[in-house]
Every structure is written in structure tokens, then in C-alpha cells.
Amino acid sequence: MVKIIALNTFKQLIRDKIAYSIFLLLIFALTVSYFAGTISLNQQIRLINSVMLSAFMLSVVIISLFIGANIIERERRERLLFFVLTKPISKTDYFIGKWLGVSIVIFLTFVLYVVSYAILIKISGGSINIFSFTALAYVFFEGILLTAIALTLSVWTKPILAIIVFIMLYLIGHSSSLLLTIGEQLNNFASYLLKALYYLLPNLEKFNLRNDVNYLSGYSNNEALSVIAYFVFYLILTLLIGVRVFNKRVFV
């Protein structure tokens, strides 16, 4: 059942022309990387790494924010939930299927970026750095975690509030070490609160290799495994919360 909903969601999103905007962003990133690289002094490969990773991150945030936070609410608004949930499918399968469908779109975007990146590096005369692919893969992980967060928020509250909370979580997630630093300078209660937030909210900087991609020769398998374990833990936790909230919600 999850597979049927996921493939249906994927087809729906592709036909909704989301693919065009992702593709346009990719073309833009390729053009900027290539032409800006040619006029930069011995920095072409670094520039390509930086622009491609940022463009992929932007695509992933756009997909998870504007699709993930809206897709179930849109189906409620358009009475499609009546159409689907009166069929022999559980709410859990529907929720997971929706997440998986959006994740397939992110995966396809990831593949597009990996292939384009490899071609661009070849054209520019550089050698392919495996860590650039690792960095892209981490953004992909972050994207599907963000989608799970956006979906969970969207079934918990109204779309506009879900978007606001999502953006806050995204910003805090990318600067969570600041929470600790600030916490150390505050009184007891605020300090505990910020520490609790630091440990509770996902630290999205763990998926950010954009600044290090050119200097990652020492990146170990253990580090990669710990990031993957961190990702799997938060993903399962978020999906479990989302499923529980969705199962309790009434949609008519």
C-alpha cells in the first residue's frame, strides 16, 4: 500500500510541473558554476562544488517546504482524503507513502545533480572528488529528513504555521551549536532550556559538508556511519510522531 501511494504521489508531483522548477534551478546552477568558474583564478573546481551543493540544498529545501508541508493539507482541502481513505488503506500507510513519494522526487533530483556535477567537472578538466558525492548524499539525507519534518508539522497544525515552524527548525538546526554557546552565558533555567533544545532538535549541520568538501581527505568511515545513524534515528522518530498525529486527526 505504501508503494502504491508513493508512486501515485511521485506521478502527481511530476505532472504538477515541480520537475520544471527543479530542472530550471539545475540549469541555472550549471551555467553559474561553469561561467563563473572560467573567470575565477584556479578556483573553478571549488566554485563548482560550492554552487552545485548550494543549488541542490536550495532545491531540497524548496521541495520539502513547499511540497512536504502542503501535500496532505492540499488533499484535505480538495477532498481527496475522502477519495483515498475510504479505500482499504490505513492512515499510517498513506502518511508514509506520501513521505516516500516526495522522497523519490528528492532522490531523482539528487541523481540529476550527481550526474550534472560529474559532467561539469569533466568538462572543466578537473578530477572527480568522491567527497563531493558524499556531500551531495548528505544533502539528500537532510532533504528526506526535512520532508518528514514538514509532513509531520503539516498534519499537526495549519499550513502557514507549519511553514513558519519548519523555517525556524531549519535555521536552528543549522546553527544549533550556537544554542550551547549562548546557553553557557545565560542563567540556569535558560541554559537548561537551550541545552534541551540542542539535544532534542536535529543538528542539521551534521549533514553540511559544503564548507569542507575540498579538504575532506581525512574523512573516516566512522564519521560517515555516525551521521547515517543520526539521520536514521531522527527520521524514524519524526515519522513515528507524524504517523501518531495523523492517525488522531480528523479531516472532514
Nearer to other proteins, 76 or 195 (CB): 76
What is the Cα–Cα distance from 156 to 172, expressed in whole angstroms? 20
**Least gap, CB of 12 to other proteins (angstroms):** 6
| Smaller CB separation from other proteins, 160 or 250 | 250
CB of 11 to other proteins, least distance (A): 8
CB of 97 to other proteins, least distance (A): 11
Q: Please identify, using beta-carbon distances, which residue of 40 and 247 lies nearer to other proteins.
A: 247
Alpha-carbon gap, residue 153 to 165, rounded angstroms? 8
Task: Please state the closest distance from residue 63 (CB atom) to other proteins, in A.
Answer: 18
Per CB under 8 A, residues contacting other proteins are 1, 4, 8, 11-12, 15-16, 78-90, 250-252
Distance CA(166)–CA(155), nearest Å, equals 13
Q: Smallest distance, Å, CB 110 to other proteins? A: 24
Kindly tell me which of 200 and 250 has the beta carbon lying closer to other proteins: 250
Q: Nearest-CA neighbor of 156 among 92, 81, 66, 242?
A: 242
Distance of CA 50 to the CA centre of its chain: 17
- Name residues whose C-beta falls within 8 Å of residue 67's C-beta, 6 or more positions apart in sequence: 13, 18, 102, 105, 147
Number of H helices, E strands in the chain: 11, 0
CB closer to other proteins, 43 vs 90: 90
